[in-house]
Amino acid sequence: MMYFCTLFDSNYISKGLALFLSISRHTNDFTMFVMAMDRKCQEMLESLGFDRMVIDCIEDIEDPKLVEARNNRSRAEFCWTCGSYTTDYFLNKYHLSDITYLDSDLMFFNSPKVIFDELDKKNASVGLAPHFTNKTLFGKYCVQYVYFKNNHSGSECLRWWKDECLKWCFSRVEDGKYGDQKYLDYFAKRFTNVCEIDNRGVGIAYWNMNNYLFRDRKVLAKGKEWPQVFFHYSGVNVTVNNGVMTFLHTMYLTPQIRKMFIIPYAELMRNV
């Protein structure tokens, strides 16, 4: 069984549902733990009654440190703060063997078991997804996919990340930190069995997609090929007005990228 967690509010519920449904297309062997970031989101999700989805609401968690973070950070910064917090919360509340945090703006094109198989071979306690780009101002790794095994190294690493994010998590580069993300760069220096994911099909996004070739649901790079696992739609905004769906994006999209990743996402979002 694969255990995932994510978070989103009622404004982003369509993206969160698209993530859940995209995984469901490829496997039934998973549970998605969702932290609803407002009561409306919780109620909407509960009304849908999805199997394999467990819903909690951030408004039910009474933690003074979390309340303080809510009061001194922007909405986005507070959501970043909650990523590590809710991952630790779900891991311990439900006594899971492991857990993987996912950003809500992803779409899977393959079973995530591909990633688990790689991490299992590496005996990973923590699994990190690189940006696969030379531009590392905001961190070598992307928070889009972060795996923790519930053992000493994995749980200690997650707890450290959570505690650091509660202390500082802002949308600026400062003293080697940026949001919740650059903390990931320090994991391997502080904890054991922290492993990088090699698969270039993990986290295809605007910052790396132009470095790849795509063929037969494979990613070709550096003389190797990997299965396409998921696309990260950072920089893509979806709006619906009067039944018309509009995609706004901040990057150049080749016809191939549109066909392989944007149109399927639009079709999935239309069905949400």
Which of 140, 158, 159 is CA-nearest to residue 203? 140
- Tell me what the mean pLDDT of segment 9-13 comes to: 94
- For the cut 80, the answer to whether the pLDDT of residue 108 exceeds it is yes
Q: Alpha-carbon dihedral of residues 14, 15, 16, 20, nearest 10 degrees?
A: 100
CA-angle at 236, arms to 51 and 42, nearest 5°: 30
Q: What is the DSSP string of 81-101?
A: HHHHHHHHHHHHHTT-SEEEE
The pLDDT confidence band at residue 121, using thresholds 50, 70 and 90, is very high
| Residue 210 or residue 125, greater confidence | 125
Which of 198, 210, 193, 199 is CA-nearest to residue 257? 210
Confidence at residue 243, expressed as pLDDT on a 0 to 100 scale: 61
Mean pLDDT over each residue of the chain, to the nearest integer: 93
Confidence at residue 242, expressed as pLDDT on a 0 to 100 scale: 64
Confidence at residue 238, expressed as pLDDT on a 0 to 100 scale: 67
The pLDDT confidence band at residue 96, using thresholds 50, 70 and 90, is very high
**Helix then strand then coil, % of the chain, to nearest 5:** 40, 30, 35
* pLDDT tens digits, 148-177: 999 999 999 999 999 999 999 999 999 999
- For the cut 90, the answer to whether the pLDDT of residue 255 exceeds it is no
- For the cut 80, the answer to whether the pLDDT of residue 239 exceeds it is no
Confidence at residue 237, expressed as pLDDT on a 0 to 100 scale: 72
- For the cut 80, the answer to whether the pLDDT of residue 81 exceeds it is yes
The pLDDT confidence band at residue 222, using thresholds 50, 70 and 90, is confident
* pLDDT tens digits, 15-73: 999 999 999 999 999 999 999 999 999 999 999 999 999 999 999 999 999 999 999 99
- For the cut 90, the answer to whether the pLDDT of residue 104 exceeds it is yes
| Residue 86 or residue 245, greater confidence | 86
